[in-house]
């Protein structure tokens, strides 16, 4: 049962994702667990279904807030600011699935927090566990000059249909869906269980909306690129098609081995032809038995926010401040709507403070349309910014530390939470990300704004930092050097998700953690020195050859004796000897 409608910043009703009833149920389950009436495993499954994930620290929880398609209003940002102010670390964390997480939460705090979230229409339901997770959308949807059409309404409808739906409560494994409407595929459809790309066709002389549907993508230790299910799924068949895919997976997915339970393994077992046949048979049955029961797909178009005066079309007087100019070059894009801009707000390691959240809420109201989008690159995007107000917006963002340049560029590094909080984390991915970020403030400052090169870091092979997608990617591990266990990273190069050219990064070297900055600098300087005019980083790798790059990296794969370089045997932000300390992961509990 859905919660009541709530009022948005414009005074309009919008539906809530929350349910007061399930919050009461969660509180009852907590009490029953504490009273010994239900087992830890039973409670774990229920806890995860409601977005509460155990940390490696005993008694501490991570609370994951579901942000469908990354959309947040100003009043929601202000409530999140209140929660961040009360959180032990004083920050919220934006994830690669566009959600918001808070860490170091006590179990007895959860009911109060979820009740506060429900008051502004947010929920933690099905943000974890073996369910369809948050349905994500490329953050430029609705304003991208190249988009086919705005896919946001379709993602919203899919989310609404699956949230709390019985077919989605106990899948063999977690399940991910994403939408893209533009050629750049900012929704990252090749890595999803279901990836939907906007498409158009002429039917009886009329333009018809639909989707190219891809299935079976996934990362982790055995990454798999999604395969084409259907070249054109009409928009009015999208819901039954998604439902059919979920039901086939639910029925045939591997429930005996969690390591082979994702849909990519089912697809590999059956083959795309057999899988397609089963899905289409299931869809036909659903369209017959559930005719009229699927909610309607209601599309909408982005419209300019109401303003007292129209947007100026005249020349804009902008600052000559080099910092402003650099930020404008890297963080600001034109919308398809004339006179308006989209602004990327770069977050360091995906973290955002209470003051910053409040400032974003004010900025969205004062300069934009009262909303922001979280991105799968751990940033925020402000939209509908009038061109003439850009300098004022910059001053506001700069005052609260949100005007870092290089958003979505080389210096904008993605990293999972890693061994700081995650039970599966082997290494301090955040520590490495900070060390690499420092390179672009100093030695590699001239390369910070390189477009078309991204770095991503995971603390283990599971790829929560999406290292497989990076031009330069890393995942954490461990290896003994001179009799001592040392944190290491496997370095991968050359990933691309360009339509028709998708490929995951290829491993090239296993490098001690403290040697990674030097290795990165060596590879980037090599590219800078040897690239041809207009040559992309991946193009350079293809021409130059990974085997030759491996030779350049070879000096970074070993360590001096402990007596000569003791710090190199430690992880980042650590003073004690390194050892692998992982616990039971809860992703598939």
**10-residue mean pLDDT series, the chain (589 residues):** 48 76 93 94 94 94 97 98 95 97 96 97 96 97 98 97 96 97 96 98 94 97 97 97 98 95 98 98 96 87 76 68 97 97 97 98 97 98 97 98 98 96 96 98 96 97 96 98 97 92 95 98 97 96 97 98 97 95 72
Residue 312's pLDDT is 59
CATH 3.30.470.20 fits 136-289, yes or no: no
Determine the Cα–Cα distance for residues 15 and 5; give it in Å rounded to an integer.
Answer: 4
Determine the Cα–Cα distance for residues 240 and 545; give it in Å rounded to an integer.
Answer: 46
Neighbours of 326 (CB within 10 A): 16
Region of 202 (left: φ > 0; alpha: ψ -120 to 50; beta: rest) is beta
DSSP annotation string for 441-495: HTTTGGGTT-TT--EEEESSTT-TT-GGGSSEEEEEEEEEETTEEEEEEEEEE--
Residue 175 per-residue DSSP state: B
SS3 (DSSP) at 370 = coil
Which residue reads 């910059």 in tokens?
Answer: 394
Candidate CATH numbers 3.10.20.440, 3.30.413.10, 3.10.580.10, 1.10.10.10; the one for domain 414-569: 3.30.413.10
Indicate if the alpha-carbon torsion angle 345, 349, 351, 356 is positive or negative: negative
For the domain spanning 324-399, the CATH number is 3.90.480.10
Token pair of 384, please? 């509908």
Neighbours of 232 (CB within 10 A): 15
Numbered ranges of CATH 3.30.413.10 in the chain? 136-289, 414-569
* Predicted confidence (pLDDT) per residue in 306-320, tens digit: 765 555 555 667 888
Task: Please name every residue paired with 18 in a beta bridge, in sequence order, or none if there are none.
Answer: none
pTM over 0.85: yes
Reported as type and span, the H/E element at residue 373 is strand 371-374
Token pair of 38, please? 């239900």
Contact at 8 Å (CB) between 141 and 104? no
Residue 105's pLDDT is 97
Determine the Cα–Cα distance for residues 463 and 578; give it in Å rounded to an integer.
Answer: 22
Nearest of 28, 26, 5, 30 to residue 15 by alpha carbon:
5
Which residue reads 């933690």 in tokens?
Answer: 124
Three state DSSP letters for 89-148: CCEEEECCCCCEEEEEECHHHHHHHHHHHHHCCCECCCCCCCCECCCEECCCCCCCCCCC
Strand 52-54 vs strand 61-65: parallel, antiparallel, or unpaired?
A: antiparallel
Determine the Cα–Cα distance for residues 155 and 137; give it in Å rounded to an integer.
Answer: 7
Numbered ranges of CATH 3.90.480.10 in the chain? 324-399
Nearest of 580, 585, 570 to residue 422 by alpha carbon:
585
């Amino acid at each position: 049962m859905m919660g009541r409608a709530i009022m948005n910043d414009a005074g309009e009703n919008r539906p809530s994702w929350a349910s007061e009833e399930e919050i009461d149920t969660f509180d009852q389950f907590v009490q029953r667990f504490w009273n010994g009436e239900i087992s830890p495993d039973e409670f774990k499954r229920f806890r995860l279904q409601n977005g509460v994930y155990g940390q490696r620290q005993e008694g501490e929880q991570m609370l994951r807030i579901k942000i469908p398609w990354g959309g947040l209003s100003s009043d929601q940002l202000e409530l999140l600011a209140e929660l961040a102010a009360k959180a032990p670390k004083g920050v919220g964390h934006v994830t690669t699935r566009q959600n918001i997480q808070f860490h170091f939460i006590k179990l007895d705090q959860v009911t109060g927090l979820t009740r506060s979230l429900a008051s502004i229409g947010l929920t933690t339901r099905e943000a974890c566990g073996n369910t369809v997770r948050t349905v994500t959308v490329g953050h430029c949807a609705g304003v991208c000059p190249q988009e086919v059409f705005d896919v946001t309404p379709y993602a919203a409808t899919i989310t609404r249909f699956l949230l709390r739906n019985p077919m989605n409560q106990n899948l063999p494994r977690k399940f991910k869906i994403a939408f893209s409407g533009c050629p750049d595929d900012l929704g990252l459809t090749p890595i999803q269980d279901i990836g939907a790309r906007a498409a158009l066709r002429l039917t009886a002389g009329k333009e018809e909306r639909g989707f190219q549907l891809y299935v079976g993508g996934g990362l982790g230790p055995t990454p798999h690129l999604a395969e084409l299910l259907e070249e054109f799924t009409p928009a009015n068949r999208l819901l039954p098609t998604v439902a059919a895919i979920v039901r086939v997976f639910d029925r045939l997915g591997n429930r005996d081995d969690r390591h082979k339970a994702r849909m990519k393994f089912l697809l590999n077992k059956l083959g795309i032809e057999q899988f397609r046949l089963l899905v289409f048979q299931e869809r036909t049955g659903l369209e017959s038995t559930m005719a009229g029961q699927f909610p309607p797909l209601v599309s909408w178009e982005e419209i300019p926010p109401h303003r007292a005066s129209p947007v100026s079309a005249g020349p804009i007087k902008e600052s000559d401040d080099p910092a402003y100019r650099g930020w404008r070059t890297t963080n600001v894009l034109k919308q398809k709507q004339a006179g308006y801009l989209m602004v990327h707000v770069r977050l360091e390691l995906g973290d955002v403070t209470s003051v910053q959240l409040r400032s974003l809420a004010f900025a969205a109201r004062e300069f934009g349309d009262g909303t922001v989008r979280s991105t799968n690159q751990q940033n925020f995007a402000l939209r509908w910014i009038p061109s003439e107000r850009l300098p004022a917006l910059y001053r506001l963002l700069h005052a609260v530390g949100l005007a870092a340049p290089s958003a979505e560029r080389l210096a904008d590094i993605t990293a999972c939470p890693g061994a700081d909080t995650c039970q599966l984390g082997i290494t301090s991915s955040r520590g490495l990300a900070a060390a690499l970020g420092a390179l672009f403030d100093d030695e590699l400052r001239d390369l910070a704004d390189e477009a078309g090169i991204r770095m991503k870091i995971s603390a283990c092979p599971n790829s929560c930092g999406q290292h497989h997608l990076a031009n330069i990617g890393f995942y954490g591990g461990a290896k003994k050097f001179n009799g001592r266990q040392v944190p290491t990273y496997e370095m991968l190069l050359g990933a691309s998700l360009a339509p028709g050219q998708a490929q995951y990064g290829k491993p090239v070297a296993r490098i001690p953690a403290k040697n990674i900055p030097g290795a990165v600098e060596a590879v980037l300087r090599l590219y800078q020195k040897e690239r041809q005019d207009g040559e992309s980083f991946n193009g350079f790798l293809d021409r130059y050859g990974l085997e030759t790059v491996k030779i350049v990296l070879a000096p970074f794969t070993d360590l001096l004796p402990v007596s000569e370089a003791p710090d190199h045997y430690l992880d980042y932000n650590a003073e004690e000897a390194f050892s692998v300390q992982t616990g039971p992961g809860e992703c598939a509990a």
